[in-house]
């Protein structure tokens, strides 16, 4: 079986993960299931906002704003300007086109549609072949603990621009949320699992914290590989390295492997090649920076080839 014939599950956060998911979708189509973090989700202005799911949907649906890195291309901001003019909350920006997604999702959820079903319908409308699966259909929140307060994720990440020093990260599910049957089924039939180059602490750990996900991964016979989000000890985007420093963790690929603890292989950037012998599990060294869509596809191809070799 070649890499392109594998049924693959990808664990994914926002921008960086979505880029690799784009490449995987181009190569695998319907053989790909992307389990997406919903720990960032929150209620805002009466709407249900799902930032990571929308980033994955917009990216795979060719709607993403590639320059800004989030939201939809060709966006306009009349709603936000009008909201500000009425002294409403403007710290979390919702573009006019993006607003359509939030209104539709909020109405669907209020009518009893699950987040999984709503996301599937939208992905299908956009011609996306891969399955985009929320990690849970239940409320599930990432909480950032700083020296003097506990912050809801978006207050930490957007409003405070990830400036407060992180002491700990917690996850809360007031209704006892569990993994969706779709996510567990996808892991159960997967030939391979890829942990995307998302923030391990803010994007992947919430997925692993959902009851059922980690047990399903532990039970899976499929090899699991991660793509390091670090290049030369730096994060390409976001506060990964900052958080590792604040938690007293060395910012290198070996730390990423130790953090997950369940990997069968690691894909790391050429800039970190000198550290490959110290990783302790099989590694594949390649370019992991994805500036272009061709680079997304090429990194996906490299990951599938690596998994194919691990599968023997």
pLDDT digits (tens, 9 = 90+) for 133-167: 999 999 999 999 998 999 999 999 999 999 999 99
Q: What is the DSSP letter of 73?
A: T
Phi, psi of 32, deg, nearest 5 = -110, 135
Q: Residues 101, 91, 289, 257: what is their CA dihedral angle, to the nearest 10 degrees?
A: -100
Residue 238 binned pLDDT confidence (cut-offs 50, 70, 90)? confident
Q: What is the DSSP letter of 3?
A: G
Cα dihedral 147, 148, 152, 154 sign: negative
Residue 184: partners with Cβ closer than 8 Å, 6 or more residues away: 212, 213, 216
Residue 185: partners with Cβ closer than 8 Å, 6 or more residues away: none
Structure tokens at 166: 């992180």
What's the rounded mean pLDDT across residues 176-185?
95
Percent of the chain with pLDDT over 70: 99
Q: Residues 243, 264, 34, 233: what is their CA dihedral angle, to the nearest 10 degrees?
A: 30
Local structure of 273: helix, strand or coil: helix
Q: Is the pTM of this model over 0.85?
A: yes
φ/ψ bin of 87: left (φ > 0), alpha (ψ from -120 to 50), beta (otherwise): left
pLDDT digits (tens, 9 = 90+) for 76-115: 999 999 999 999 999 999 999 999 999 999 999 999 999 9
pLDDT at 267: 98
Please check whether residue 177 is in contact with residue 210, taking contact to mean a CB–CB distance below 8 angstroms: yes
Cα dihedral 296, 59, 264, 278 sign: positive
Structure tokens at 2: 């070649």
CA–CA distance, 99 with 71 (Å, rounded to integer): 10
pLDDT at 3: 62
Residue 68 binned pLDDT confidence (cut-offs 50, 70, 90)? confident
pLDDT at 2: 61
Residue 233 binned pLDDT confidence (cut-offs 50, 70, 90)? confident
* DSSP states along 171-231: EE-TT---B-HHHHHHHHT-SEEEE-SS-IIIIIHHHHHSTTHHHHHHH--S-EEEE-SEE
Instruction: Kindly report the length of the chain.
Output: 312
Cα→Cα distances 252→232, 257, 278, Å: 7, 9, 11
Nearest to 56 by CA among 178, 268, 203: 203
pLDDT at 88: 96
Phi, psi of 311, deg, nearest 5 = -70, -15
CA–CA distance, 95 with 74 (Å, rounded to integer): 10
Phi, psi of 152, deg, nearest 5 = -60, 145
Contacts 24+ apart (CB under 8 A), 288-295: 288/197, 288/227, 288/228, 288/231, 289/231, 289/236, 290/16, 290/19, 290/20, 290/23, 293/22, 293/23
Structure tokens at 39: 């720990």
CA–CA distance, 8 with 304 (Å, rounded to integer): 9
């Amino acid at each position: 079986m070649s890499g392109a014939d594998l049924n693959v599950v990808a664990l994914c956060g926002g921008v960086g993960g979505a880029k690799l998911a784009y490449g995987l979708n181009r190569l695998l189509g319907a053989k790909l299931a992307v389990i997406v973090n919903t720990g960032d989700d929150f209620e805002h202005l009466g709407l249900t906002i799902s930032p990571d799911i929308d980033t994955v949907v917009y990216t795979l649906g060719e709607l993403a704003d590639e320059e800004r890195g989030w939201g939809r291309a060709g966006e306009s901001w009349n709603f936000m300007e009008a909201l500000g003019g009425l002294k409403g909350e403007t710290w979390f920006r919702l573009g006019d086109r993006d607003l359509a997604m939030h209104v539709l999702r909020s109405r669907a959820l209020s009518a009893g549609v699950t987040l999984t079903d709503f996301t599937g319908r939208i992905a299908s409308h956009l011609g996306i072949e891969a399955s985009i699966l929320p990690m849970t259909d239940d409320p599930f929140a990432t909480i950032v603990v700083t020296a003097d307060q506990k912050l809801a994720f978006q207050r930490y990440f957007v409003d405070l621009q990830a400036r407060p020093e992180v002491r700990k990260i917690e996850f809360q599910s007031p209704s006892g949320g569990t993994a969706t049957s779709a996510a567990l089924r996808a892991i159960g039939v997967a030939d391979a699992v890829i942990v995307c180059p998302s923030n391990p602490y803010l994007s992947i750990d919430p997925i692993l914290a959902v009851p059922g996900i980690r047990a399903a991964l532990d039970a899976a016979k499929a090899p699991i590989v991660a793509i390091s989000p670090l290049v030369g000890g730096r994060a390409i985007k976001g506060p990964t390295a900052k958080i590792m420093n604040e938690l007293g963790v060395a910012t290198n690929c070996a730390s990423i492997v130790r953090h997950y603890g369940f990997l069968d292989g690691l894909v790391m950037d050429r800039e970190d090649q000198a550290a490959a012998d110290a990783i302790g599990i099989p590694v594949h060294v390649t370019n992991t920076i994805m500036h272009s869509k061709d680079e997304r596809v090429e990194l996906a191809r490299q990951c599938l080839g690596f998994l194919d070799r691990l599968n023997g």
